[in-house]
Each structure stands twice: as structure tokens, then as C-alpha cells.
Amino acid sequence: MNRSWNRRQFVLAGGAAATAAVTAKSWINPTSVKAATFTRMDVGNLTAASSQITSYAKAITAMKALPSTDPRSWSYQAAIHGTTAPCPCLTSWNTCEHGTEFFWSWHRMYLYYFEKIVRRMSGDYGWALPYWNWQLASESQLPSMFRDKTSPLYTVNRDANMNSGSGSLPPGDVNCSFALGDLAFTSAVEDIQNPHGNVHEDVGGWMANIQTSAQDPIFYFHHSNVDRLWDIWLAQGGGRSDPTGDATWKGKTYTFFDENGTAVTMNDCDVLRAAQQLNYTYQNEPAQVNEYCVIRIKIPPWLLQEVIVFDWPLPGPGPVEVNSDRLSVPVELGDKIKDIQAVAASKTDKLIVVLDSVQVDTQPGVTYQVYLGLPEGDEPTTKSPYYLGTFSMFGMGIKDQGPHGSMPATFRFPAGPAVTALLKENRKPSLTIVPSGILIDGKPSKPKAKAPLHIGAIRFSKRTEARAPISKVQPKP
């Protein structure tokens, strides 16, 4: 029993009566409140013999044996995320959300029904989807049960080194601190997509492409972790909240299929409280924060403001082109230097480097490390004070991936500490992009990019996360 919930229920019920804006669907019947039944376990604590793994393997085999028109079949489930199959498409195909504020919520709904289908198909009604806790150094390899060639959890359609166990995720690729540090939902849901996309790219093969990624059994363990990070982001407090006052965010409805193959719909208000509404928690997670759509919470929403401080004049007439080699774009800050310095030193605002209109013709098969002010002769290392972060082309900006995956991508990185350091040394900023890859036997690999990357604009911006004036959102008594 969740004790704090009862008290909250009482407080909220008073508010609800006053605003009379309660709909039956979203209202929770207090008698239905119970502790969550399912615990999603860290795969690092499981073995190939654990029931979570053997039941998953059984379900994969059973789902693959269903006709592909059955919405519970392995290929149909994957196609809901994305498919290369030509349309006319079946219901809900290609509906995954990337580069949008629906990223976390859409994937939560998707996993929720996938999990129900796995329960039914395995006959293991206590099954809960484990998570790949990839931020941990101890879990930087692909979990071992996915590397066993005889297991249904295996596919050859991955990076060969990840599949053999010699490959591992570089620490910079899986660093979530920028996203978790964000206060506004809009920033967090965008910035978390960066480490998430790096993992896709690093696993490679099917996982590197939104149209094929959900065919790989590791996809769901990966997203279980991404979903857990939503809970963790909220649990940090500091005013973090879901955009429950945003009509657009609440208003979109998606269709999935349940364990009977019956179409079901959900919206963001249905997935705000994983334990209460969806009946699961994560192993070792802090207490979940319960958010509510119906009730007008008396805290105003975050106003996220991002203003351009400086637009970099690009060296050529077209976009900056990055091939397989490290590339630097120097810049003259001119009289903007004081403004930039001020934002970099600010305690409340963040200086952000924005890479905008980023596109490639086809999946380049590399990740990109971003540095600001890395001295020319220095080896790039993610321990450098000039390292900003790593991004990958996943789900956005890839021209041959149809309308769903080709819209130009934007990437943001925190730049304050690097700018402060290099201005102190009296050096001019330069942006350095280093195409990179997974670690092989613990050492950086240098894969060749299969296509040039184009960056249409580079800028410094100032991000301000502030609360809206309280009077505007307080319900009238």
C-alpha cells in the first residue's frame, strides 16, 4: 500500500470538488489502489536461467510463430515502432515518437502492452520486462544472454563486437547527467534522447535504425531503462513535473494492441503514475512521483525559454560537412564575448551549444563526440574539460528513412564550463566533432562513417527555466 498516496488523494479530492473538472475516466477509485504487482528487474541481476529471461525467450518464439497480420506477432509489434515494409500500413505501424515531447510517454505505452503480450505468449503471468542499466560500467556490454547464439534473444543483426562481448558502450555515450539536470520536462525529454540514441547506434545493425530497431529483443530492455529514467528524473524533485497542464501533450491518443490482439487506446494522462495506473515499479528505483492530469496543481508550469546568444558564421556557404575525420570549426566571438561569458557564469541560466538542421543521407554508422575549445594537438578524450557530449543519428535527420525518420535533427549540449575554461586561457572557441564508435577490448574504435554528416547551423543559446507567474494558473476560488 502506498501510504503517501492516501493523504494526497484526500487533498486532491478537495481540490477536485472545488474545480468540478473531474472526468470519470481519469479519476481513481481509492479502493483500487494497491501496491504494484510487477517489478521490472535490472538485467545485471539476472542470469540466462532466470524466469524473466527464459519466459522472454519462450514468448519471442511464440510471437514469431504467429501470422504477421496478428498484432501480437513479433513482426507486427516491431512494425508499430517502425517498419521498412511498404504501405498501405496496418493499424498503428510507424507510430513511434522521436524528437518530440511524446518520446517518453509513447514508449511507456508501447512497452506496457508489449509486456502484457509477452505474459500471455509465455504463460508466465508474473513476468515483468527487465531493464538494461547501461549507465553502469558493469553493464556496458550487451547483456550476456543476448549474446548466446542459440538463444531467441540473439540476432546477427548487430555490431559484431557488441555481439561477441569484446565491444562495450563508451562512458560518454551513456551519460545522462545533462538530461537529468534539466528542470523543464521539454528539455529533459529532448536531452534524454541523446544517450538513448547513442545506445541504439552502438548496438548497431537493426538497433541503429528506427524502422528495424524493435525487431531486436534488446530493444525492449533498452527502453525499459529509458522509461525508468523518466521516473528517476521526476524523483529528483526540484520542481520537476510532467506537463499535465499542456493540452497538446494530454490530447493525443495512440492505439496499441492488448494480449488478446484487441485494439486499445491510451493518452499521456493514462501513463503518469506507473505503479498506480500500470502496475509496475523498477527494482531499486526511488519512490515514484505521482502526477495527475485532472487536478489543477497549484504549482505553475516551467516556462522554458531559449534565446540565441550567438549564431556562428559557418566557414562555407553550405552546411558544415563531417566525414570520418575529426573536424574543427573555429569562431570569432567579437563583441558577443561578454554576453557569452555572462551566461556561462550564470547560476540560473545555462549556456548551450546547439547543433541545428543536422542531416545525413543514410545511417553513418558512427557516433559523434562534441568538444568546445579542444586544443588542436590534443587527443580527444571524454575526460577532457572541453568535452561536451556525444550524439548519434537515430530516428531523426536520416534522409532515406521516410517522413518518419528524416526530419532534421537538433542536438544540445551544456557549454558553460568549457567556455569559462577556454576564455580564462584566452583562447578562441572552436567546435570539434570527432566521429567515434564503441570501445573494443576497452579501447576506442575508429569506425569509418558511411555518409557525411551535415550541420546547418551552430549557435550558443541561453536556456532559462523559470516558473510561470503563479496568478495565471491558479484556479479561481
Which runs of E-coded beta strand occur in 179-232? Answer: none
Nearer residue to ligand C2O within complex by CB, 116 or 223? 223
Torsion angle, alpha carbons of 149, 152, 155, 156, to 10? 40
Taking the complex as a whole, how short is the minimal distance between the CB of residue 382 and ligand C2O, in angstroms? Answer: 22
**Residue of 96, 117, 218, 274 interacting with ligand C2O (CB under 6 A):** 96
Rounded-to-integer distance, Cα 460 and Cα 311, Å: 7
Q: Give the total of residues touching ligand C2O (CB under 6 A).
A: 9
Q: Could you give the string, one character per residue 241-260, with x where binding to ligand C2O holds by CB under 6 A and - elsewhere?
A: --------------------
Q: What minimum distance in Å lies between the beta carbon of 109 and ligand C2O?
A: 12
Cβ 200 to ligand C2O shortest distance, Å: 6
Distances (CA, A) of 40 to 1, 122, 259, 284: 18, 16, 19, 10
Subset of residues 309 to 328 that bind ligand C2O, contact rule: CB under 6 A: none
Residue closer to ligand C2O (CB basis): 109 or 451: 109
Work out the angle at residue 388's Cα, subtended by the Cα atoms of residues 387 and 390, and round it to the nearest 5 degrees: 100
- Give ∠ CA 212-38-82 in degrees, rounded to 5: 15
Interface residues for ligand C2O in 76-95 (CB under 6 A)?
Answer: 81
Does residue 120 bind ligand C2O (CB under 6 A)? no
Q: At its nearest, how many Å lie between ligand C2O and the CB of residue 97? A: 7
Pattern 176-215, binding to ligand C2O, x per CB under 6 A?
A: --------------------x---x---------x--x--
Report the residue number, 96 or 117, with the smaller CB distance to ligand C2O: 96
C-alpha cell at 286: 526511488
Cα(185)–Cα(197) distance, integer angstroms: 18
> Counting contacts by CB under 6 A, is residue 454 touching ligand C2O?
no
**Cell numbers that stand for 409 in this block:** 535533427
CB of 106 to ligand C2O, least distance (A): 8
Residue 430's DSSP bridge partners are 330
For ligand C2O, the closer of residues 96 and 351 by Cβ is: 96
Q: Which phi and psi angles does 131 have, rounded to 5°?
A: -120, 145
Q: How far is the CB of 98 from ligand C2O (least distance, A)?
A: 6
| Nearest residue (CB) to ligand C2O, 211 versus 241 | 211
Residue closer to ligand C2O by CB (options 140, 213) is 213
Nearest-approach distance from CB 433 to ligand C2O, in angstroms:
23
Query: What is the dihedral angle through the alpha carbons of 31, 32, 33, 37, rounded to the nearest 10 degrees?
Result: 140
CB of 404 to ligand C2O, least distance (A): 10
Question: What's the CA gap between 329 and 229, in Å, rounded?
Answer: 34
Q: Kindly state the cell numbers that stand for 325.
A: 575525420
121 touches ligand C2O (CB under 6 A): no
Q: Nearer Cβ to ligand C2O, position 96 or 449? A: 96
- 124-156 burial, b at 16+ Cβ within 10 Å, e below that, comes to beebbbbbbbbbeeebbbbbbbbbeeebbbbbe
Q: Which is nearer to ligand C2O, 216 or 242 (CB)?
A: 216
Cell 553550405 -> residue: 318
Residue 158 is a binding residue for ligand C2O (CB under 6 A) = no
Pick from 357, 343, 349, 233: nearest CA to 285: 233
Tell how strand 387-391 and strand 409-414 pair up: unpaired
Q: Is the Cβ of residue 200 or residue 350 nearer to ligand C2O in the bound state?
A: 200
Q: Which three cell numbers stand for residue 266?
A: 491510451
Q: In this structure, what are the phi and psi dihedrals at residue 161, rounded to the nearest 5 degrees? A: -75, -35
Q: How far is the CB of 138 from ligand C2O (least distance, A)?
A: 22
Least separation in angstroms between residue 364's CB and ligand C2O is 17
Is residue 98 close enough to count as binding ligand C2O by CB under 6 A? yes
Instruction: Verify binding: residue 273, ligand C2O, rule CB under 6 A.
Output: no
Q: Looking only at Cα atoms, what is the longest distance across the chain?
A: 68
CB-nearer residue toward ligand C2O: 97 or 242: 97
Collect all residues with Cβ–Cβ distance below 8 Å to 118 and sequence separation of at least 6. Answer: 55, 56, 59, 63, 127, 129
Contact letters for ligand C2O, residues 214-233 (x by CB under 6 A): ---------x----------
- Residue whose Cβ sits closest to ligand C2O: 96
Residues that bind ligand C2O (CB under 6 A): 81, 96, 98, 107, 196, 200, 210, 213, 223
